[in-house]
Amino acid sequence: MIDKVAITIKAGKGGDGAVSFRREKYVAKGGPDGGDGGKGGNVVFVVDEGTNTLLDYKNRRKFKAPDGDNGQGRKFAGKSGSDLHLPVPRGTVIKDTNTGKVIHDMSDGQPYIAAKGGRGGWGNTHFATATRQAPRFAKNGYEGEYKELTLELKMLADVGLAGFPNVGKSTLLSKISAANPKVANYHFTTLAPNLGVVRIYEKDFVVADIPGLIEGASEGLGLGHDFLRHIDRCRLILHIFDLSASEREDPLEDIKKINAELKKYSPDLATRPQILVGNKIDTGYDKETLTKIKRYASRKGQKLFLMSGLTGQGIDELMRYVSELLETLPPLTTYESEITEEAEIDYTDRSVDIKIEDGVYHVEGEWIKRVCGGVNFDDRESLMFFQRVLKNSGVIEALEKAGIQDGDTVEIYGIEFDFVI
Ligand SMILES: Nc1nc2c(ncn2[C@@H]2O[C@H](COP(=O)(O)OP(=O)(O)OP(=O)(O)O)[C@@H](O)[C@H]2O)c(=O)[nH]1
Ligand SMILES: [Mg+2]
């Protein structure tokens, strides 16, 4: 069962700007006409209502949106990279793999841009000035965002069915909804969760049938308890047990064991509103056992219902009660993003930090970092442009203030050069 996967995503790089000059008859060299690079594609998560698993991500874990095309001559801008759409089931929670923090909850059904494509670089048309009529450089496109994400499916069900294997959870779901889960007389018939929609008095609610839980699930016994994440958001738990004790001895002990497992998974889940449902009453049951369970239920303040998935007895009454109770319960849990939007970098702030190490002057600052990302350093003219930017923005002055001398080395985000007065 695939309901938790780690993937990496990379948005497209922006295309590079073009260096090009107009060609005209009788004119040796026209003005610059290099177009801009296209924007890189975004990586966007979209809800696919038709799926209930993250199975699509089992074999493929790396995703990359297309890059923008480079600009061309005659002011032709490069084509933007198209967005890469990644379909996920509704209720998928996107987390940062490294910190475990929630980035986004795909429960509202809206697309979510998880990695933004890089901007395209400017073509040389942008760099023509009165004194520089033939700029021989353009800017490179910016890198797209890269993220390491974990996708976790937490299904959106109002009601979760919990209980030991073979107690009749899937049978109940098949009776109350159009869902058609596999029902069989062996343990762990259900391997992946099933959802069904129940309609009572014109009101709908969603029920999730999950694999059977066993004692020690939290230590990995049976199918483990990882799939409990599917009922993490539930507003109500129907705790199904086999009152007829057809294969296990003491139904009350069973109830306690399941509750202990729920608690080990999440104390929060253990305190979720719960209804006890004794199933298989068609096969008869021990009156004394029922008395004990009734006492237990009233001590815990829980409702107890009896039913038979085989004959249908008791099901309508239970569903009507569930529908009415849901009206009074809080809505489904959604997960708030735990990531504070990266503070927009203020590029009007052109201050830089200068650190001197072993005689090398290191220049740092968000703004200058961006500039470095967009300059083509293989190109002499581009470098000269960069140097003018340093001068006009006060970086040179700041270096001089820091005590730089002719011939000292300057380093700015990987670019080194000698300081010449
Ligand atoms: N006699 C009787 N048998 C039932 C009743 N409900 C379910 N069963 C039978 O019990 C067996 C298990 O039913 P399932 O609905 O598959 O049980 P489950 O709880 O979903 O089981 P897992 O998916 O393995 O956890 C099947 O053979 C059902 O036909 C009932 O009310 N009475
Ligand atoms: Mg089942």
Please tell me the distance from the alpha carbon of residue 92 to that of residue 156, in angstroms, as a whole number.
9
- In this predicted structure, the answer to whether residue 258 has a pLDDT above a threshold of 60 is yes
Quote the ligand 1 centre to 283 CA distance (angstroms): 12
Domains for the chain: give ranges and CATH numbers. Answer: 1-153 (2.70.210.12), 159-328 (3.40.50.300), 353-418 (3.30.300.350)
Q: What is the pLDDT of residue 345?
A: 46
Cross-strand partners of 342: none
What letters, b where the CB count within 10 A reaches 16 and e where it falls short, cover 173-191? bbbbbebebebeeeeebbe
Average pLDDT for 293-314: 96
Quote the ligand 1 centre to 95 CA distance (angstroms): 36
What is the gyration radius of the CA atoms in the chain, in angstroms? 32
Q: CA dist 63 to 11, 45, 55, 330, 395, Å?
A: 8, 11, 15, 37, 39
User: Which residues keep their CB under 5 angstroms from ion ligand 2?
Assistant: 169-170, 189-190
Torsion from C-alpha of 18, 23, 28, 34, nearest 10 degrees? -20
- In this predicted structure, the answer to whether residue 177 has a pLDDT above a threshold of 80 is yes
What are the backbone angles phi and psi of residue 156, rounded to the nearest 5°? Answer: -95, 85
Residue of the nearest CA to atom 13 in ligand 1? 168
Average pLDDT for 217-246: 86
Listed in sequence order, the residues at least 6 apart from 386 whose beta carbon sits closer than 8 Å to its beta carbon are 371, 375, 377
* Amino acid at site 169: K
Of 17-26, 156-165, 206-215, 270-279, the least confident: 17-26
- In this predicted structure, the answer to whether residue 160 has a pLDDT above a threshold of 60 is yes
Quote the ligand 2 centre to 233 CA distance (angstroms): 20
Report which DSSP code applies to 334.
-
- In this predicted structure, the answer to whether residue 378 has a pLDDT above a threshold of 70 is no
Other Cβ atoms less than 10 A from the Cβ of 85: the count is 14
* Amino acid at site 116: K
Name which of 128, 40, 54, 125 is nearest 87 in CA terms.
54
The number of the ligand 1 atom at minimal distance from the alpha carbon of 308 is: 31
Residue 106 · residue 90 · CB < 8 Å:
yes
Name which of 91, 82, 92, 71 is nearest 15 in CA terms.
71
Average pLDDT for 395-406: 91
Pocket test for ligand 1, best of 1, 161, 164, 166 (most atoms within 8 A of CB): 166
Average pLDDT for 391-397: 86
Residue of the nearest CA to atom 21 in ligand 1? 166
Quote the ligand 2 centre to 105 CA distance (angstroms): 27
The number of the ligand 1 atom at minimal distance from the alpha carbon of 279 is: 31
Provide the CA 64 distance to its chain's centre, in angstroms: 15
Quote the ligand 2 centre to 292 CA distance (angstroms): 27
Cross-strand partners of 63: 9
Q: What is the pLDDT of residue 417?
A: 77
Q: What is the pLDDT of residue 341?
A: 55
Other Cβ atoms less than 10 A from the Cβ of 367: the count is 17
Residue 382 · residue 374 · CB < 8 Å:
no
The number of the ligand 1 atom at minimal distance from the alpha carbon of 164 is: 25
- In this predicted structure, the answer to whether residue 109 has a pLDDT above a threshold of 60 is yes
* Beta strands, E only, 253-359: 274-279, 303-306, 353-357
Of the ranges 119-123, 147-151, 217-221, 244-248, which is most confident?
147-151
Quote the ligand 1 centre to 267 CA distance (angstroms): 28
- In this predicted structure, the answer to whether residue 279 has a pLDDT above a threshold of 90 is yes
Q: If you average pLDDT over every residue of the chain, what do you get?
A: 88
Residue of the nearest CA to atom 32 in ligand 1? 280
Tens-digit pLDDT profile for residues 314-373: 999 999 999 999 999 988 888 888 876 554 445 567 788 899 988 889 998 878 877 776
Token code pair at residue 385: 């442009």
Average pLDDT for 123-141: 76
- In this predicted structure, the answer to whether residue 222 has a pLDDT above a threshold of 90 is no
The number of the ligand 1 atom at minimal distance from the alpha carbon of 187 is: 24
- In this predicted structure, the answer to whether residue 394 has a pLDDT above a threshold of 50 is yes
Ligand 1 pocket (Cβ < 6 Å) reads 165-171, 183-185, 187-190, 211-212, 279-280, 282-283, 308-310
Q: CA dist 29 to 26, 32, 76, 355, 382, Å?
A: 9, 9, 18, 44, 20
Quote the ligand 1 centre to 166 CA distance (angstroms): 5
The number of the ligand 1 atom at minimal distance from the alpha carbon of 309 is: 31
Average pLDDT for 66-88: 95
Token code pair at residue 403: 């005590």
Report which DSSP code applies to 291.
H
Residue of the nearest CA to atom 1 in ligand 1? 280
Residue 184 · residue 170 · CB < 8 Å:
no
Quote the ligand 2 centre to 179 CA distance (angstroms): 12
Residue 124 · residue 20 · CB < 8 Å:
yes
Residue of the nearest CA to atom 30 in ligand 1? 280
Place of tokens 């670019």: 415
